[in-house]
Structure 1
Amino acid sequence: MRVESGDVSLAVYEHGDPANPTVLLIHGYPDDHAMWDGVVDALISRYHVVTYDVRGAGDSSHPRAVSQYRLEHLANDFFAVADAVSPAKPVHVVAHDWGSIQGWEAVTDPRAPARVASYTTISGPSLDHIGMWIRRRMAKPSPRHVGQLLNQQLHSWYILFFHTPVVSELVWRLGAGKVVARIEGLKHAPRVKNAVHGMKLYRANIFQRVRAPRERSTDVPVQVIAPTGDRYVTPALLEDLHLWASRLWRRKVIGRHWVATAKPGVIARMVDEFVSHVSGSPATHALERAKSGRSLVVITGAGSGIGRATAQEFAAQGDFVIATDIDLATARETADQIGGVAYQLDVADEAAVNDLANRIAAEHGVPDVVVNNAGIAVAGPFMDTSTKDWQRVLDVNLLGVIHGCQAFGRLMIDAAEGGHIVNISSAAAYTPTRSLPAYASSKAAVLMLSECLRAELAPQGIGVSAICPGIVNTPITRATTFVSGNQEQLRERTARAYQRRNFPASGVAREIVAAVRSNRAVVPVTIEAKAGLWGSRLTPGVMRRLARIGVGQ
């Protein structure tokens, strides 16, 4: 259909049942309505989905005068389309790039409360908000603010280029679109016609609005989706949005600037969650966390020791913690202390781990952080360690970690919102000893697994940390299996030694939380763990000689 807006004729495309809520999608530069095809396909079963070519793009009119591309004209175009496709009800707006810029113009317009039910913006801030953002940072030019300004300028280099007449048009005609497609991973290069006419958007608005910004606020519910790999809009540029949007949800998505094209299913899910909630449905767990900023943390072996301390530390930071343990009673004790929830879990049981991961995702959402902490200790000479002992320690310490990484890692990848996996290794992973061959081998495998997994999951925005504690005073010493000698005497002797060292589990917990916040790869905890790591790298021969000394025997 065609919609007239002043002297401009807009090409509008409707999909789905008009009786359903209307979702109106606005494309950016240098695209046309086709960029939304994947999102449309994912939404049409539940919504009346509308796309249109903005002026200067696709099959809509292409005004010659730069002044015809000012934001007030673009806002009028939007309201004309909204009135045509949903005259009786407000529409839910989803916009990208320049579509978001003109979307902000519309939702901060006095007409918005009657015509806009919600606004989802991707990679396109308001130009007025940018102007205010710059003013605030120039007024208090701290090193952080100066760094933010310079960083955004570097990411906005193309704006000056688009203001260069003749040359910029020529570059597009000579194949710049193919370069953009290659860099951004697009299947199709942008159309030259869209790129050439669309540069008038920049020339008509950027400097005029940024130099003289207006105070533009809205009470329309706003969902901000920020791609983590956006080359053009830095996260800092979105910091002040709470000043202008009274009902704000912030979400990140793992992807580049054109994430809506690359991951249409993910974007459609986020839009559906938001629109459904604004329309009266309960918020999904992911949407609740987007509003509150709280992380969802799952910890195995959380019934005591490092696991319980880590649960307490994350809870103290304001996060919601799910405590799991093979002993449900101790997991419940932990959960009761911190206001979390508890589940029974044997990490050696792959099916049980997969089932619980799916249950947690259904009942609480996809975790932001998973701490694979559950472990056991087996001590004694290699020749005295039976195959059964080896199987037991590897089932829990190694396969238990593998099960957790796979089950929750898949959920994180599918959600495309990033996350962090913490695997508890040990200083024993890099400090060989004749007394702990089974335990040390299992923890060395966890360390290498973590390093490999970190490389694999980095493109998905998922961090992986291996925590390597040294001598820590936890209940594991009294549960250690000694393959030779008097069990009770050896356990008591080992426990007393760890008590004399008296490094608390809370110290490890603080390092775990810090590792998640800073995305550290390998974290030795305690002085002996740090010394052992450096020794393994600088003087491995000395470490091998020290390995001949028995411990706890």
Structure 2
Amino acid sequence: MKDFTGKVAVVTGAASGIGEGLARHCAGEGMKVVLADINADRLSALAAELNAVWRKTDVSRAEELEALADFAFESFGQVDLLFNNAGVLIGGTTWDVPLKDWRWILDINLMGVLHGVQAFVPRMLAQGTPAHIVNTSSLAGLLAAPLMGPYTVGKQAVLALTETLHYELQDSPIGVSALCPGPIATGITASGEGREAQAAQTEGQKQLMQFLNDGISQGMAPAECAELVFAAIRENQFWIFTHEDFKPEYQRRIDELLANQNPSYAQYTVDE
């Protein structure tokens, strides 16, 4: 896709962070925008500002993505860009994070993407026109870190899902991209407030989250991230990296794998 004027975009997780940056960029490209998020108050305010339509959506529920697809196609008759972007984060050791918090993260970060794919792809194929899907993974989709189990598992699964989708849609007019951002200035570290796992964090775990939050607060602006995403869509580029300086870490992991070495860990920040 090269020209976005008059086309239709659907953005999940649109009320803040990367999703809001994408939504604003879509509007700036002259697109018709469908906003989805669980935060209805913020969503309605953003929709009014961007002259967009919106629907409160819990991406962890497949039926709500089906309803979002119905809403988008009833509103505009087509969908040209789909951003499966909603995500959350909680830190903690793999064995201490309660199963209900594991499920909460995976239901949003992973199943939310799958729900979006299953609700929209058949309809986008049926319309038969050029389109593009961007699934938000993370640098955690390529690198694991301690105390980040649920987030890392979900983001690596999203990357596998997205690559699979790329192969499956190669003979269609639908392009696919995996967004693997480094630190972006968002509020994702606050997304688990009130959850049992966050309340039970040790002092060391809280320090990690503060480290992440400090890095994120100084991260790339969501608007700049959105510009990189649209540049990649125009080139039908699968990989979208926001921070080239993490590539040596990706290379290190590949080198260790090929040499059959045990994984080593180098501290880095992560965001959605």
User: 2:67 aligned with 1:355, yes or no?
Assistant: yes
SS of aligned partner of 1:509: helix
User: 2:215 aligned with 1:497, yes or no?
Assistant: yes
Shift of residue 512 of structure 1? Answer: 1.5
Show the counterpart of 2:105. 393
Shift of residue 392 of structure 1? Answer: 0.9
Write the letter of the residue equivalent to 1:391. Answer: R
Shift of residue 309 of structure 1? Answer: 0.6
Show the counterpart of 1:510. 227
Which of 133, 156, 178 matches 1:421? 133
Contact 1:300 / 1:374 at 8 angstroms: preserved in 2? Answer: yes
With over 3 angstroms needed to count, the CA separation of the structure-2 counterparts of 1:402 and 1:512, relative to structure 1, is same
Write the letter of the residue equivalent to 2:244. Answer: I
In the aligned structure 1, how far is the partner of 2:53 from the partner of 2:40?
Answer: 11
String of CA shifts for 1:187-208, please: whole Å, max 9, x gaps. xxxxxxxxxxxxxxxxxxxxxx
User: 2:207 aligned with 1:485, yes or no?
Assistant: no
Contact 2:140 / 2:152 at 8 angstroms: preserved in 1? Answer: yes
Shift of residue 478 of structure 1? Answer: 2.2
Contact 2:15 / 2:36 at 8 angstroms: preserved in 1? Answer: yes
Shift of residue 336 of structure 1? Answer: 2.2
Unaligned runs of 5+ in 2: none
Contact 1:435 / 1:551 at 8 angstroms: preserved in 2? Answer: no
Show the counterpart of 1:408. 120
Contact 1:478 / 1:492 at 8 angstroms: preserved in 2? Answer: no
Report 1:118-517 matches (<5 A): 293-480=5-192, 482=198, 484-485=201-202, 491-499=209-217, 501-517=218-234
TM-score by length of 1: 0.44
Contact 2:22 / 2:226 at 8 angstroms: preserved in 1? Answer: yes
String of CA shifts for 1:42-99, please: whole Å, max 9, x gaps. xxxxxxxxxxxxxxxxxxxxxxxxxxxxxxxxxxxxxxxxxxxxxxxxxxxxxxxxxx
With over 3 angstroms needed to count, the CA separation of the structure-2 counterparts of 1:531 and 1:505, relative to structure 1, is farther
Contact 2:130 / 2:174 at 8 angstroms: preserved in 1? Answer: yes
In the aligned structure 2, how far is the partner of 1:528 from the partner of 1:550?
Answer: 11
Show the counterpart of 1:546. 265
Shift of residue 495 of structure 1? Answer: 2.0
SS of aligned partner of 1:382: coil
Write the letter of the residue equivalent to 2:249. Answer: G
In the aligned structure 1, how far is the partner of 2:20 from the partner of 2:262?
Answer: 32
Contact 2:10 / 2:72 at 8 angstroms: preserved in 1? Answer: no
Does 1 or 2 have the higher relative contact order (CA < 8 Å, sep 6+)? 2
The structure 1 segments of at least 4 consecutive aligned residues displaced by more than 4 Å after TM superposition are 486-493, 539-543, 549-552
Contact 2:145 / 2:265 at 8 angstroms: preserved in 1? Answer: yes
Contact 1:374 / 1:400 at 8 angstroms: preserved in 2? Answer: yes
TM-score by length of 2: 0.87
Write the letter of the residue equivalent to 1:350. Answer: A
With over 3 angstroms needed to count, the CA separation of the structure-2 counterparts of 1:446 and 1:543, relative to structure 1, is farther
In the aligned structure 2, how far is the partner of 1:415 from the partner of 1:440?
Answer: 35
Contact 1:371 / 1:423 at 8 angstroms: preserved in 2? Answer: yes
* Percentage of matched positions with identical amino acids: 31
Write the letter of the residue equivalent to 2:75. Answer: E
Shift of residue 492 of structure 1? Answer: 4.5
With over 3 angstroms needed to count, the CA separation of the structure-2 counterparts of 1:434 and 1:415, relative to structure 1, is same
In the aligned structure 1, how far is the partner of 2:97 from the partner of 2:151?
Answer: 11
SS of aligned partner of 1:460: coil
In the aligned structure 2, how far is the partner of 1:414 from the partner of 1:370?
Answer: 15
Shift of residue 531 of structure 1? Answer: 3.4
In the aligned structure 1, how far is the partner of 2:268 from the partner of 2:146?
Answer: 6
Shift of residue 496 of structure 1? Answer: 2.3
Contact 2:79 / 2:131 at 8 angstroms: preserved in 1? Answer: yes
Which of 220, 242, 247 matches 1:525? 242
In the aligned structure 1, how far is the partner of 2:86 from the partner of 2:55?
Answer: 13
Shift of residue 551 of structure 1? Answer: 7.4
Shift of residue 539 of structure 1? Answer: 4.3
SS of aligned partner of 1:384: coil
With over 3 angstroms needed to count, the CA separation of the structure-2 counterparts of 1:494 and 1:550, relative to structure 1, is closer
Equivalent residues, number: 260
In the aligned structure 2, how far is the partner of 1:543 from the partner of 1:506?
Answer: 38
In the aligned structure 2, how far is the partner of 1:471 from the partner of 1:551?
Answer: 6
